[in-house]
Chain A
C-alpha cells in the first residue's frame, strides 16, 4: 500500500512540502526555498503571454491554462504495478506534486461530451497500464489530492500512448486540434491526450 496517496499522506503528516523531495536546494533563504518539483504554467494558445506581448492588438484572450508542479524522474520507476513505483496502477494521482493540478477555461468547453462552463477545475487521474481514467473535479485549492467523487464533473478513459523521447520532467502542454485543443500529459515513456472541444454548444 505504498501508492501515491499514502506517500502524500506521509508527507502531509510530516509537514514536508514535497513528497518527492530529496533535500532542499538552499539553506540561505529565511522564508522558503525553491521546490524540488517546481510549479509551471501552460497556456492555450501555447505561449499565450508571449504571443500577446508580441501582438497586443490582434490577440484575443487565452482559452485555457493549466497550473501544475513538475517532479523529475530521477531514475525512479514512475508507472507500474510495483509497490515501489511512484504512481502505482490503480492509485489516484494528482498529475504532478504538491498542490492539486488546476485547469482553468476562459470560455465554455466540452470534454467527454460534457459541457463545462468557464472556470477552474482540478484534474487528476487513475493510471492503469493501457489506459488512464482522467477526472475533472470541482474541489479546488487542495494540497495533494483530495478525492471527492461528489464533486466530479466528468471521468474519461484515455488510452496510454508511447512518449518518444522519454521525458525526465513531468510535462503538460496544449496543442491545437481541429476541434479545439489537446492537452498532452507526458512523463517518462508514456503520454495520454485529453481532447478539449471549443465549439460552444
Chain B
C-alpha cells in the first residue's frame, strides 16, 4: 500500500527532483555494481558508496554558531533557538515561480519539513509562541511570503500539513538580492530584542523578525 504513494517512491532519493534524480541514481547503482563486480574479481575490498543527499540537512542557531561559542567559553547566554533544514541547490533552475510554485505550500527546503525550536517563549507578529519545537512552512509569492509555524512535528515534505495546527501565520515582504544564492540558506541573525529568520535562495530574500519574550 505504501508503494502506491508517490512520495514513498522518492524514499531512496530524499530529494525534490526525485524522479530525475532517481534515474541518475539507478544508473549510478548500475555503475557501482559493475565496478564492485570488477573489483571483487580482482580481489579488492570495495566500500559501499551511498551518494550524498542532493539536499543535505543542516542546522543554524541563535546565537549564531552557539555550539562553537559554547566550547570556546564565549557564549554570553543560553541557546535560544535552533533551526534544522535541508539545503537544495539552485543548479540551472529558476527557483521561485518555477521550481517552487507561487501560491503553494512549501516545506522551506527539502526532505523532512523544516523545524525550529525555541528555548524560550517568543513573539512573531502578534502571535505568542511557547518554547518548543515547531514545523515551518511558507507560501511564497512574487512580492510577499506567508510564513507558517505549525505544531505538528516530525513531518516529511508538506504532505501532512494540517492548517488546524497552525500557531502563527505571518506575511512578510520579498526582497531582491543581486548576488544569486546557489544553496538554499537560512540564518538566525541578531536584531534588537530578538533575531531575524533570514531566508535566502536564488535572487530572493525574506526576513522574519522573531522577538524573545
Contact = CB atoms under 8 A, between A and B. Distances in A.
B183 interface: yes
Interface in A47-91: 47-54, 56, 61-62, 65, 67, 73
Nearest to B65: A143
Contacts of A33: 183
Nearest to B58: A39
A38 B48 contact: no
B200 interface: yes
B46 interface: yes
Interface string B44-55: 011111101100
Nearest to A38: B56
B47 A31 contact: no
A117 to B, nearest CB: 17
A30 B179 contact: yes
Contacts, number: 121
Contacts of B208: none
B32 to A, nearest CB: 11
Contact of A34 (B7, B70, B156, B183): B183
Interface residues of B, number: 47
Given A29-B183, A65-B154, A54 B2 contact: yes
Contacts of A52: 154-156, 160
Contact of A144 (B58, B71, B79): B71
Given A29-B182, A142-B67, A166-B48, A50 B53 contact: no
B71 A50 contact: no
A188 B113 CA distance: 30
Contact of A168 (B50, B89, B183): B50
Contacts of B61: 141
B52 to A, nearest CB: 7
Interface in B126-180: 154-157, 159-160, 179-180
A26 B182 contact: yes
Contacts of A30: 179, 181
A49 B182 contact: no
Contact of A12 (B47, B71, B82): B71
14 contacts: A38-B53, A38-B56, A39-B57, A41-B57, A52-B160, A53-B7, A56-B160, A65-B154, A73-B47, A141-B61, A142-B71, A143-B67, A165-B47, A188-B47
Interface of A: 12, 26, 28-35, 38-41, 43, 47-54, 56, 61-62, 65, 67, 73, 99-100, 141-144, 146, 165-169, 188-189
3 tightest Cβ-Cβ pairs between the two chains A and B? A38-B56, A49-B156, A143-B67
Given A32-B185, A169-B50, 8 more contacts: A28-B183, A30-B179, A50-B8, A52-B155, A53-B5, A54-B2, A65-B154, A168-B48
Interface of B: 1-2, 5, 7-8, 11, 45-50, 52-53, 56-59, 61, 65-68, 70-72, 79, 82, 84, 87, 89, 112-113, 154-157, 159-160, 179-183, 185, 187, 200
